[in-house]
């Protein structure tokens, strides 16, 4: 893994989504680095860690990262949320708080199990098949899906296209592993055991993680709060950067205040 650090102050570790890299968090760096230390993580097979062939296993990645980024609030976007959530569940003494951005404990819809807040399982299989046929074209299509629905969709898509591959294309192996993880993951039963405060941020127009997933997840976790941002899609820190940064800063300030009064 690769970690890039900016700013000064209380620590915030940020973990990107599928096929992305830590550089996409630039809008949050711009707004938070004057009061927080931001650790931007590139997962194995992505960005500057493209040649790292470690498997995308959230428990292993979380265990490795807590050694390198101790005593931090962890933020996970989409796929990255699975690593952040795993760290909070497994290492609560080393994770001060959890911010989940457009990341669900279960990405696939499960009507029989009372979870309508997901996509069809075929979506991830279709992406996997498409990667085999047209790797770059499939990634370009995914960027469009990430921005779809946002009130600033065209601006977000331009930014994603400009930045998504500035650290090189992600490794095909890592992308297939990520799709398999998103298809299989289901951490709903573990949320009542979450021992750190959490903030769940979603975009009301998200086409990948329905906005209802985040309040539903927060309802399962003690000490959790959810925020749904009107007009935002799957990358709300791009289209609604000021709002997302304010929510994160307020959450971190509340943790500091709680620690001071303890």
User: Residue 108 in 3-state DSSP?
Assistant: strand
Q: Which residues contact 125 (CB under 8 A, 6 or more apart)?
A: 179, 183
Q: Is 18 annotated as a binding residue?
A: yes
Q: Is 78 annotated as a binding residue?
A: yes
- Choose, from 16, 21, 39, 234, the residue flagged as catalytic: 234
Q: Which residues contact 261 (CB under 8 A, 6 or more apart)?
A: none
**78 counts as catalytic:** yes
CA dihedral 126, 159, 152, 214 (to 10 degrees): 50
**Pairwise CA distance, residues 15 & 46, whole Å:** 11
Q: Give the containing element (helix H, strand E) for 246.
A: helix 241-261
- Choose, from 16, 42, 46, 78, the residue flagged as catalytic: 78
**16 counts as catalytic:** no
**Pairwise CA distance, residues 113 & 117, whole Å:** 11
**Pairwise CA distance, residues 259 & 73, whole Å:** 13
Going from the C-alpha of 242 to that of each of 98, 109, 213, the distances in angstroms are 19, 31, 23
Tracing tokens 């399982």 back to the chain, one arrives at: 121
Q: Is 79 annotated as a binding residue?
A: yes
- Choose, from 46, 198, 206, 226, the residue flagged as catalytic: 206
Q: Is 150 annotated as a binding residue?
A: no
**206 counts as catalytic:** yes
Catalytic positions are 78, 206, 234
Which residues contribute to the annotated binding site for substrate?
Answer: 18, 78-79, 234
Q: Which residues make up each annotated binding site?
A: 18, 78-79, 234
């Amino acid at each position: 893994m690769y970690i890039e650090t900016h700013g000064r102050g209380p620590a915030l570790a940020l973990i990107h989504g599928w096929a992305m890299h830590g550089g996409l968090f630039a809008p949050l760096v711009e707004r938070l680095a004057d009061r927080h230390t931001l650790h931007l993580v590139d997962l194995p097979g992505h960005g500057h860690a493209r040649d790292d062939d470690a498997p995308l296993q959230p428990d292993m990645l979380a265990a490795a990262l807590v050694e390198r980024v101790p005593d931090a609030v962890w933020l996970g976007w989409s796929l990255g949320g699975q690593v952040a959530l795993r760290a909070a569940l497994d290492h609560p003494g080393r994770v001060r708080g959890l911010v989940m951005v457009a990341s669900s404990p279960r990405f696939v819809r499960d009507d029989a199990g009372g979870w309508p807040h997901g996509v069809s399982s075929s979506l991830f299989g279709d992406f996997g098949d498409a990667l085999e046929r047209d790797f770059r074209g499939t990634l370009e299509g995914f960027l469009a899906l990430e921005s779809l629905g946002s009130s600033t969709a065209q601006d977000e898509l331009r930014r994603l296209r400009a930045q998504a591959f500035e650290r090189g294309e992600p490794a095909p192996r890592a992308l297939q592993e990520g799709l398999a993880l998103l298809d299989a993951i289901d951490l709903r039963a573990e949320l009542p055991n979450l021992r750190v405060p959490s903030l769940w941020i979603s975009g009301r127009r998200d086409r990948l993680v329905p906005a209802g997933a985040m309040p539903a997840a927060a309802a399962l976790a003690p000490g959790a709060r959810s925020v749904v941002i009107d007009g935002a899609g799957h990358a709300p820190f791009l289209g609604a950067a000021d709002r997302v940064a304010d929510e994160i800063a307020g959450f971190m300030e509340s943790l500091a205040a709680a620690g001071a009064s303890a």
